[in-house]
Structure 1
Amino acid sequence: MNNEQAAEILHDVFKHAVDSARPGPVIPPALPQKPKGRCIVVGAGKASAAMAAAVDAAWPDVEVSGVVVTRYGHAVPAGRIRVLEASHPVSDAMSETAAMLIVESLRGLTADDLVLALMSGGGSALMALPAPGLTLADKQAITRALLHSGANIREMNLVRRHLSAVKGGKLAAMAQPARVVSLIISDVPGDNPSDVASGPTVADSTTPGDALKVLERYGIAISEPVRDVLSKPRPPSARMLNGEVSLIATPAMALKAAAEAARGHGITPLILGDAIEGESREAAIVMAGIAKSVKQHGQPLGAPALLLSGGETTVTVRNGRAGKGGRNTEFLLSLACALQGESGIWAVAGDSDGIDGTEDAAGALIHPDTLSRGRLKGLNAASYLDEHDSYSYFHALDDLLLTGPTLTNVNDIRAILVA
């Protein structure tokens, strides 16, 4: 197998994983019984516009309206449903405007009405309404600090819930007495609905004190208004009337689709887990060891094999000099360094939403000659890894995975091919 053949297989596997989570196919069979009254659609996340478009197309005979917010560049027309765009991963003024418009759309509902809440990854930043006593600037500062701290997504969203006026079930409380049905595309390890977009329609069991402990754990400085909000007792949990939550696409489902694609190529897949966490570079070292074992010893399975994993690793910026890149390109550069040109091993890693971190690539691919081609260009892979500048390294080699916005999000898809 050569580089071109391996890349074709890896591209196909990644595509099948992403396609399995596209809103167009997964929304219609998940829709609840049509309401007697109106259907108000609200949503937040990278997939929310495509999800709303699928609802609008599926229910032409229902009185549908509403507001959803997605990331800049991820909007698509959604018929009768208004689509807004805002900033990710740090909220901006449009994030706050969108949240206020979503809240406004829930006023005056009756028990005959249905609220369809379309939630997906990224919603925490895209729909941002600060808790009373806080400003958007307060939330932005906390988010930036968390992003560089090494905190995992559950810890980040725990904090966000308690700094928000709409998350942690509060949005569902505003929709009463209407029926609330949440359709969720999960991007979080463990698929806990309260962690997706910080759970605007899911009752929260954590406390403000829990959020304060997260900030203290990572040594994040907080303003007096933030400390004041997190020092208050937790208000009563949102009591949801007829609330229903359905996970319609998940990382596990995407990995199963990738495994089927591998079998179609005559390659045996092994799913190592859909909720892998920890430092990207450390996870890569572990995966390199497994890949070598497959090649040298046929354990835990024989080649040709495809090692699949999902979840959300983290990148902790320790030297204060962060270059370009996200957790997937960092994972791959660390993997290449660990493999040291081992023949017969290739890999792809990418964020299923098409954007790894803040750059324009979903991720990248590595080949057995990734390090040697870098050296020919005067690039030291270890130095780029230390500078968290993995995007620049793969850009120089023309090995970035460029998909554009996929309009869905089931987190990271990683595949290591052992010939």
Structure 2
Amino acid sequence: MYQHPKDFLLDLYESCLNAIRGEKVVPAHLPEPPKGRTIVVGAGKAAAAMAQAVEAHYAGTIDNGLVVTRHGHGMPLKKIKLVEADHPVPGEAGKKAAEDILNLASRLKSNDLLLCLFSGGSSALLTLPAPGIELSDLQKVNEALLNERATIHEINCVRKHLSAISGGRLARAANGARVVSLIISDVPDDDLSVIASGPTVGDPTTFADALGVLERYNIFTPPSILVFLKEAREETVKPEDPIFKRVTNILIATPQDALEAAAAYARHQCITPHILGNAIEGEAHDVALVMAGITKQVLNFNQPFSAPCVILSGGETTVTVKGKGKGGRNTEFLLYFLMAMKGNPHVYAISCDTDGTDGTEDNAGAFMLPDMYKEAKAFDVMPIKYASDNDSYSFFKRCNGLVFTNPTRTNVSDFRAIYIQGKAVQLQKKL
């Protein structure tokens, strides 16, 4: 029995998702119950799934709890309250949830446990403006930074210094209680101080750094925020602060874990995997051209890898929007890769966001088959026209290449796989 390359690519994606789901990664890292109470809080696209896993596997009693996730990413919970909020621009529901979480932490005592669950999306979902800052002003700055394609390190540096809960402040609010944070990473280098803007992690950045980011991108800054940053009255909690002696931050899933799981599946199918990197960034069309260049080198010279093989990568690209079409960074990447490969019969590819949403669309991403290029040209569906209008979604919709998963309730950035066949190679499905 043989497996079609399309099915192989979809199974690779599913393998990476299964390795990073809350029910898979949370149970092994749950702490011992305390002598006092256990309060569970959290935020992120995986927060509901992580909370559900805590409810199913925690050995102690959950006395109270609240987690906030993106609209549509919820799951049924029995003991922990769930709030759905706006993302990526923060909203009122996320602000109220953050206030409630901070209040829960402030009532703890030294023999209690604050169990925190954080994943990608937490920075926007767990937004509590510092005193004197309006949410509307914070929204303007946040949206401007996103539009200017600032890095996640830069965006979260600003967020932490405009927040009453990020940059270690949640840990400080816990009154010396034991704090354990289980964290799913979606940022380059798995920097704990950047993931979720580090509510329980010491922050090495400063108010001056935050001001520098706004100046670098020439962001229009509301007067209240500009004054607040320049006054620099209360810094974020620094890594050397003694409160962190009672804090444990644990990475339970990372982009590398997802790629390793996909690589293991490929080896099981007798296809050699090669992981290029888990934090590849840049313009989607530039990354596509680099990946196409590597693919052509494999096809023509068996360098740097020999075919058959599958090239895996993660990280988040960016898209400078100039057109009026639909599409996210994954379909944009794949459309440019398709144009570069020109329907080579030995190359197949997939590119999807691990949260199940590519940008603001309803798809996770797309897959590419060799015939798509020739069929598109035959029907006068010129890929370059779609690319110039940033309309990659519409192109792959016409080619039946979109991938739909609904919210996966996890997130470790994007997943890309390029399968390069040798001559007359077929994939054998192991039973």
Deviation track 1:52-93 (CA, whole Å, cap 9, x = no partner) reads: 111111126424321100011111122211011011111121
- Any unmatched runs of 5+ in structure 1? none
Q: Is the 8 A contact 1:56 1:64 kept in 2?
A: no
Aligned pair 1:394/2:396, yes or no? Answer: yes
Q: Is the 8 A contact 1:71 1:85 kept in 2?
A: yes
Deviation track 1:375-412 (CA, whole Å, cap 9, x = no partner) reads: 34443322322222211221222211111111111111
Q: RMSD over aligned Cα, in angstroms?
A: 1.6
1:292 pairs, out of 279, 291, 296, with: 296
Q: Is the 8 A contact 2:357 2:407 kept in 1?
A: yes
TM-score (norm 1): 0.95
Q: Is the 8 A contact 2:207 2:235 kept in 1?
A: no
CA distance in 1 between partners of 2:271 and 2:57 (Å): 37
Matching residue's letter, 1:284: A
The aligned counterpart of 1:345 is 347
Deviation track 1:280-328 (CA, whole Å, cap 9, x = no partner) reads: 11111101111111111111111110000011111223x3x45322111
Q: CA deviation at 1:177?
A: 1.5
Matching residue's letter, 2:287: A
CA distance in 1 between partners of 2:67 and 2:84 (Å): 9
Matching residue's letter, 1:11: L
- CA spacing shift, 1:305–1:225, aligned 2, 3 Å: same
The aligned counterpart of 2:162 is 163
Deviation track 1:93-114 (CA, whole Å, cap 9, x = no partner) reads: 1111111111122232111100
1:413 pairs, out of 397, 402, 415, with: 415
SS for the counterpart of 1:349 is strand
Deviation track 1:231-279 (CA, whole Å, cap 9, x = no partner) reads: 2336344233411110000000110000011111111000001111111
- CA spacing shift, 1:203–1:61, aligned 2, 3 Å: closer
Matching residue's letter, 1:312: E
SS for the counterpart of 1:12 is helix
Q: Is the 8 A contact 1:37 1:63 kept in 2?
A: no
Q: CA deviation at 1:127?
A: 1.3
CA distance in 1 between partners of 2:222 and 2:377 (Å): 47
1:276 pairs, out of 267, 273, 280, with: 280
Matching residue's letter, 1:42: V
How many residue pairs were aligned?
A: 415
**How is 1:152-191 mapped onto 2 (pairs within 5 angstroms)?**
152-191=151-190
**How is 1:49-88 mapped onto 2 (pairs within 5 angstroms)?**
49-59=48-58, 61-88=60-87
Greater alpha carbon shift after TM alignment, 134-143 vs 265-274: 134-143
SS for the counterpart of 2:65 is strand
The aligned counterpart of 1:112 is 111
Identity over aligned pairs, percent = 49
The aligned counterpart of 2:426 is none
Greater alpha carbon shift after TM alignment, 154-163 vs 45-54: 154-163
1:306 pairs, out of 286, 298, 310, with: 310
Q: Is the 8 A contact 1:152 1:314 kept in 2?
A: no
2:255 pairs, out of 229, 247, 251, with: 251
- CA spacing shift, 1:377–1:228, aligned 2, 3 Å: farther
- CA spacing shift, 1:106–1:322, aligned 2, 3 Å: farther
Q: Is the 8 A contact 1:154 1:195 kept in 2?
A: yes
Matching residue's letter, 1:26: V
CA distance in 2 between partners of 1:286 and 1:136 (Å): 41
Greater alpha carbon shift after TM alignment, 406-415 vs 101-110: 101-110
SS for the counterpart of 1:276 is coil
CA distance in 2 between partners of 1:236 and 1:162 (Å): 7
**How is 1:18-33 mapped onto 2 (pairs within 5 angstroms)?**
18-33=17-32
The aligned counterpart of 1:98 is 97
- Any unmatched runs of 5+ in structure 2? 422-431
Matching residue's letter, 1:8: D
1:372 pairs, out of 358, 369, 374, with: 374
Greater alpha carbon shift after TM alignment, 376-385 vs 363-372: 376-385
